[in-house]
Chains A and B, each alone.
Chain A
Amino acid sequence: MIGKTGNWRSAICGLRGIAGVIACFALVTAAPLTMTHATQSPITNYQRVAFTQLTTGQCCVQPFFSPDGKQVLFLDKPAADEPGGIWAVATDKPLSPPALLTERFGPFSRDLSLALDLVNGRTTVERLSDGQRWTINNGGRSLSFSPDAKRITWSVQDEIGGFDARRTELWLANADGTDARRVITRYGGGALAWFPDSQRMLIGGKARRNDATPTLGILDLTSGSVRDLFPVERLRSATLSPDGRWLAYFVGQAREPGKDGMYLLDLTQATPTPKRLDFFGAYRWRDGNRLLYIPLKPGAPSNELWQLDATSGQSQQLIAASADSPFKIANGDWDVSRDGSKLVFLSARDRNIWLATLP
């Protein structure tokens, strides 16, 4: 791994211009670690994170990885005479001119095979491989593609009333719009996430408007049955691990203050019990067992990056705060590649897109 980092250093430090200087500098000043969490493990064989500046000119926001992780994508229209769409920069060609990937803006299916659009008020899906388009009879609403891109869901929600009591119908159809049907109704909630099998969804909300507390559950889309997990109030940012085993979420400003905080849930347990975590911040799954998180520390010179092993409960710091680090995320914009090896972010330092290669 040290050799790999050295290769990155050679590549980045060889770049011309000020951008190369920034990238090189950040790379060689990765800071040593200080551990602060109770559940931490001793750090052995710590390897540095390599930072690489990918773009210049403060051009773009909301970067995300291509499915294979080899490109970083973003919406842009670089000049008046150039097309708008999704542009790409290769992770192994930092600071190279971005290339147009597609003139569609998305959202896209997970594999980038299908693109969603609104055409003359009608929801339209396009298969990018051959340009074939079809409309979805859902009243011009947005929709969500299943991970395998074979199904779609959308929500029909009341437009008035308190957000904790609004009625939401969840609709399901094949990706071509056929076999559309309502599968469930919830109040003050709805679909939260797809499971990777494309057969189930995590849902929240109340089954009946007058229920006291929303309930977290797993909806089987084929049968329409729901496996209730437990009641939880003010659940936010529910995120499933890529294999669907773990759920990370937080509770904020609950009526019972003792309930506030971040939680982890093992969905393979017969009776899943939330485990409260001793940190709070932003988080993304790195793989089926490791949760990357950035503790909320306003005023710190830069962001820290930690990694929680969901099975052992132990945390390890990957990036320390440093005034010289480019790892100060702007706009909340960051993404993790599907293989878990890389992280991309919009840096508040220079408002360019940077890549962090993780140990």
Chain B
Amino acid sequence: MSAPVTPATAQSTPEAIFGLPFAEPPGPDTWLMGQVYGNSTGAFARRREWYQAGQGIHFGIDFSARCGTPVVAIGDGVVLKVSAPEHGSAPHNLLIAHGDQYASLYGHLRERSLLRVGQQVKRGDFIGVTGDPDLTCTSRPHLHLEIRNRQLNVAYNAHRLIDADWDALMLAGSFGRGFQRDLEDPRKWQSIYDQPDIRFGGPLINEFQNTWPRDWR
């Protein structure tokens, strides 16, 4: 007899075709979940500044990691752009195309990646090292990872596309304070798996009239 339950981890999701961006397992001395993809309470609080370009939600996944932590490619692909400031995530970023459907963006790298545009990479290949958007390595060192469409104008819910035990990762170390509620429909977008994809430059999707946590200063 097996329990009649519905698995809810990405491990069983057929879309989860990519791997994690680190070769090492998670832990306090390697990397931990930081901010999840989606309408997190932290993203909502900064929807009109940091995340306005992504319709107000956190359009990637943040992994806490000390500066200099090696980052690996999440899938086979071809280097698309190196240090392209028009895509954000300073001081350095790297974009890899995965076929004609997806592209991955690795943000807040400490240094310009040594890879060249057009270079082939395999899943698990070293592609750069983590940095800190505040350039201090003591403020908020982390990797910001996005999965976009090949045209780079849509960000997908990366939790659905990466084969990882997100439920376990969210337990320890995450900045998780849950997802912002629309009090007219507080059950909407309350799992990492049902967070919406976004179109860059589109209108905010989380300007709720009545929301919780409140829109504190």
Contacts and interface: CB of A to CB of B under 8 A. Distances in A.
Interface in B1-29: 1-9, 11, 25-29
Q: Which of B9, B11, B138, B170 has the most CB of A within 10 A?
A: B138
Interface string A332-359: 1100000000000001111100000000
B139 interface: yes
Interface of B: 1-9, 11, 25-29, 31-32, 64-66, 134, 136-141, 164-165, 167-174, 176, 178-179, 181, 183-187, 190-192, 212-217
A18 B168 CA distance: 26
A289 interface: no
Contacts of B191: 61, 330-331, 351
Contacts of B164: 298
Contacts of B176: 331-332
Nearest to B31: A253
B136 A105 contact: no
Contacts of A18: 4
A75 B184 contact: no
A299 interface: yes
Interface stretch (A19-27, A125-133, A169-177): A19-27
Contacts of B27: 260, 280, 296
Contacts of B3: 22, 25-26, 324, 326, 349
B6 A350 contact: yes
Nearest to B132: A162
A141 B28 contact: no
Given A298-B169, A329-B167, A350-B5, A139 B138 contact: no
A326 B168 CA distance: 14
A162 B8 contact: no
Contacts of B139: 162-165
A201 B25 CA distance: 35
B214 A118 contact: yes
A75 B212 CA distance: 10
12 contacts: A76-B186, A117-B214, A162-B136, A164-B139, A252-B28, A297-B168, A298-B168, A300-B165, A329-B171, A330-B8, A347-B5, A349-B3
A61 B178 contact: yes
A9 interface: no
B168 A296 contact: yes
Nearest to A325: B3
A84 interface: yes
A142 B217 CA distance: 8
A300 B190 CA distance: 23
Contact of A281 (B8, B141, B171): B171
A164 B137 CA distance: 10
Interface in A52-87: 59-62, 75-77, 84
A299 B168 contact: yes
A61 B190 contact: yes
A261 interface: yes
B183 A141 contact: no
Nearest to A140: B217
